[in-house]
Structures are given as C-alpha cells and as structure tokens.
Amino acid sequence: MDLCRRFGLNVKNVRVAAGHTQEELADLAGVARSYMSDVERGVRNPTLKVVERIAKALDIHPAKLLG
C-alpha cells in the first residue's frame, strides 16, 4: 500500500474516532471539503504543509499519520 493511501486511511480513522465529519475536519485544516474526501481515499498526493495542517487539526503528531 502506498503512502498516500496509508495516510488517507489513518486520517479517516482518527477523524471518525474524534467524531468529526469530513467537512468539519476540512474547515479545521483549512482545505476544501472535496479535497479532504480525495485525501482520505488516497487518490491525492498531499504536500507536507497540508499533512502538517491536517495533523494539527486532528491534534496528532504528523508522523503518526504515516505509520
């Protein structure tokens, strides 16, 4: 499984565990709702800056989302 897909699955797991919708998380991270959807499905190739913002929005260390 490639890193984008793994990242997406981790984001989804943490988001759902935190009880947020994609739209809520997208707003917190400052990205578009449709983009969050793509990221979670692993069909996008996000930059480190976006990884950093999503991690912050989820209140988790960025490295955890790649593990």
Contact footprint for DNA (CB under 7 A) = 16, 21-23, 30-35, 37-38, 40-41, 43-47, 49-50
Q: Are 33 and 23 in contact (CB under 8 A)?
A: yes
Query: Of 34, 37, 29, 38, whose CA–CA distance to 62 is shortest?
Result: 29
Q: If binding is defined by CB under 8 A, does position 49 make contact with a copy of itself?
A: yes
Write the interaction track for a copy of itself spanning residues 5-44; mark x where CB under 8 A is met and - where it is not: --x-------------------------------------
CB 50, min distance to a copy of itself, A: 9
Q: Which tokens go with 25?
A: 């998380």
Q: Are 5 and 43 in contact (CB under 8 A)?
A: no
